[in-house]
Amino acid sequence: MTFNSGTLVALVPAWWLPIQIITFLGNVFLGVFFYLFPNGRFVPRWTRWLVVGWMVYSGINAFFPNSPLNNSLFMTLLFPGLLVCVLVAQVYRYRRVSSQVERQQTKWVVFGTSSGIVGYLAVTVLYWENVLSLFQPNPRSDLMDYAAASLFLLLIPLSIAFAILRSRLWNIDLIINRTLVYGSLTGILALVYVGSILLLQYLLRGLIQQTNDVTIVISTLVIAALFQPLRRGIQATIDRRFYRRKYDAVRTLAAYKATLRDEVELAILSKNLVAVVQETMQPAHVSLWLQKDEQRSKPPPDG
């Protein structure tokens, strides 16, 4: 059972205005939050004027829900336009303005919001639309559905809290990487599993009596054999596509490590070491200091 403000207002009509005020303020503040996040400044500056758009949309929707204006083309286009402006502003901020820490904060919120929305939609479609005929609606399954959907939506405020508190910010890259890898891996293996079962059932029909059991066993063995090679391939692909700098750095370090076994000239090793540091870490300046032989053999002063 979900909370319905209309039911509450029908029971206590005097609560209509306070509920609508809370709804209005919540919508406005939510829109303004994404224009200010993560450093509290409007970036670009013109986004401050979009607050008026959020106030107009939220005010009409909250206080005049039955007015013709609420069902007009203006209101139909206003909300998507405001959402597009949020995305444009955040992309501009991320690429042009944000520091490294602020980019990590943005990644947390984007990851939490996208995961929450995708999970919520998946639960809703799988349960209410019952596209796979997995569930039978009843009070118990309704409760499980609402609990799962609420848990996914809880990812949004949790990710915002992580970003604001700057708690474990740098873990987000690993989380995103693992999500991309195992999400893609799960989807591909599921398609391979279902496809192999259907294909084997078609090929083995008339030859084996217990077709279902045989196809399930064979498909499971195929999935087990494909898991590690497919995971490594997906990991390498994602690293090349989304983590190019890290991927290049790892390859550069591996190549330098291989040269250490064959190269003995100190000058060449020093030159290669400086090049590796510049390519992987990209510092503003690099200098290498080597201690001379007589300095290394000189005994320490007394005292």
34-54 pLDDT tens trace: 888 888 888 888 988 988 999
CB atoms < 10 A from the CB of 231, how many?
16
Of 189, 194, 195, whose CA–CA distance to 230 is shortest? Answer: 189
- Burial code (b: 16+ CB inside 10 Å, e: under 16) for 261-288 equals eeeeeeeeeeebeeebbeebeeeeeeee
- pTM for this entry: 0.58
**Arithmetic mean of pLDDT, 171-198:** 80
Q: What is the distance, to the nearest Å, from the Cα of residue 52 to the centroid of all Cα atoms in its chain?
A: 30
pLDDT, the chain, mean? 76
Label residue 2 by pLDDT band (50, 70, 90). very low
Stretch 214-226: mean pLDDT: 81
Of the pLDDT bands very low, low, confident and very high (cuts 50, 70, 90), residue 84 is: very high
pLDDT the model gives residue 1:
41
